[in-house]
Amino acid sequence: MYDLVVVGAGPYGLSIAAHAAAAGLQLRVFGRPMASWRDHMPPGMFLKSEPWASHLSDPAGRFGLDAYCAGEGIDARHGTPVPVPVFAAYGLWFARHAVPCGVDERLISRVQPLPGGGFRLTTEDGEVLLSRTVALAVGVMPFTDLPPVLAPLRDGGLVSHSSDHDDLSRFAGGDVTVVGGGQAALETAALLAEQGTRARVLVRAPGLCWNTLPPPWKRPWWQSARAPHSGLGSGWRNWFYAELPGIYRKLPADYRSRVARAALGPAGAWWVRERVTRGVEVLLGREVRHAAPSGTGLRLALSGATGETLHTDHVIAATGFTPAATRLTVLDPATRGRLRTAALDGSPEVDAGFESSLPGLFMAGLVTAASYGPSMRFVLGADYTASRLVRGVRTRLRGTPVPTPPGTLPRPAGEQAQFERR
């Protein structure tokens, strides 16, 4: 019986594991480390966040991105984007140094609550283990969004989500339409164009939004006072989201949900703007009204102009993620139904220790954005989450007796007391 099993080994899962190990918890961690960055992003992509806002979290602060880059002789300065492969390698380095129990790369296929408390977990190859608490740090991949008009064509290979690709070379020389106006859409389109693909972007908004070059790290005090730096960009609103997620959580629930969905909306990084302008066709104020196979590709009927259609070989939908509890398929439907959720997006609500309404089940990452704000959509939120979630786990462990799995004998009283004193 473990104290904590962490499901997921991205920035949030690894940070939680580092804090849990330092707290002396009996711990297991499952998942392919840094899978989103290693398996779902093509070569040539960069982090949008600043290097100093992209640290994984360990209690002593010894294993930040800056420490890794310094050891590797890599430039990690303010205003210099970090290549995705560097960040992925950093995460693996962090796992080796900050998670002494190691990471089991198998996936967890099922998490089930036990009648007397605690959880039964099943790995993808059928191993069963028991834990008093579980932290779901499953990242963004369970929550991919496709427009309903495009979703039926995904299985036929004509439509994909931007997160489906770790290599775009199969589209070289072809014609690809990217749907979306955010960083994923614009950077994907730029990479396609640079490899010789005819690339276009369909954006329903009347114009593209671009983040500007960040102000210098050192600047006059009055400029800093007017627009302070934060891990989410400069300005007081972003500073509030980045620095005070605990205060954010005290705001009315509906307001929190609306802000989590709308704040820091679709925008391209300053360093990709010229690349898009140079090689990508941009169609503004358009949405796909109808899509159907046509020859070896598909024909799209667009809104925004009467009768406007186009033919393309493939559509990549860079249309984001919706962290609804119903998509947490690692939980059975009955368990998902027990979770209290936010009214607007269906994401699970969590308390001050990141514990869901199901005792002992903790959440981290994107699924907590409606509770703690936009910082939970970025690596930046891992530090706040990890320390408080592990504190919440320890509180839960002190207040919950060790469950007796079905078909086993109860623990001797002395052994039970020793376990609970941890």
Given its phi and psi angles, is residue 126 left (phi above 0), alpha (psi -120 to 50 degrees) or beta?
left
| 143-193 tens-digit pLDDT | 999 999 999 999 989 999 999 999 999 999 999 999 999 999 999 999 999
Question: What pLDDT, on the 0 to 100 scale, is given for residue 345?
Answer: 83
Q: pTM for this one?
A: 0.92
Instruction: Check if the beta carbon of residue 341 is closer than 8 Å to that of residue 349.
Output: yes
User: How far from 361 is each of 68, 239, 242, CA to CA, in Å?
Assistant: 32, 30, 25
Give residue 189's identity as a one-letter amino acid code: A
Q: Six-digit token pair at 78?
A: 């303010």
Name every residue whose Cβ is closer than 8 Å to that of residue 220 and which is 6 or more positions away in sequence.
none
Half-sphere exposure for 389 (CA within 13 Å, toward CB):
38
Pick among 3.50.50.60, 3.40.47.10, 1.10.3720.10, 3.40.50.300: CATH of 2-143+321-420: 3.50.50.60
Q: What is the pLDDT of residue 264?
A: 84
Strand 309-312 versus strand 297-302 pairing type = antiparallel
E runs forming strands in 263-405: 281-284, 288-294, 297-302, 309-312, 314-317, 361-363
- The ranges assigned to domains in the chain are 2-143+321-420, 151-210+267-317
Tell me the two tokens of residue 177.
């339409």
Q: Which CATH number fits domain 151-210+267-317: 3.50.50.60, 3.10.620.30, 3.40.50.300, 3.60.15.10?
A: 3.50.50.60
Check residue 399 and give its pLDDT: 76
Which SS3 state, helix, strand or coil, does residue 63 take?
coil
pLDDT tens, position by position, 393-415? 999 999 766 665 554 444 443 43
pLDDT along the chain (422 residues), means of 10: 97 98 98 96 94 96 97 93 96 97 97 94 97 97 94 94 96 97 97 97 95 90 91 92 94 87 88 96 94 94 81 96 94 93 88 96 96 94 97 91 53 38 36
d(CA 250, CA 259): 13
Residue 5 is classified by DSSP as: E
pLDDT at 343: 72
Task: Say if strands 119-123 and 108-113 run parallel, antiparallel, or are unpaired.
Answer: antiparallel
Q: Are 55 and 383 in contact (CB under 8 A)?
A: yes
Asked, colleague to colleague, whether 2-143+321-420 and 151-210+267-317 share their fold, the answer is yes
Q: How many CA atoms lie within 13 A of 123 on its CB side?
A: 16
pLDDT of the residue at 94: 98
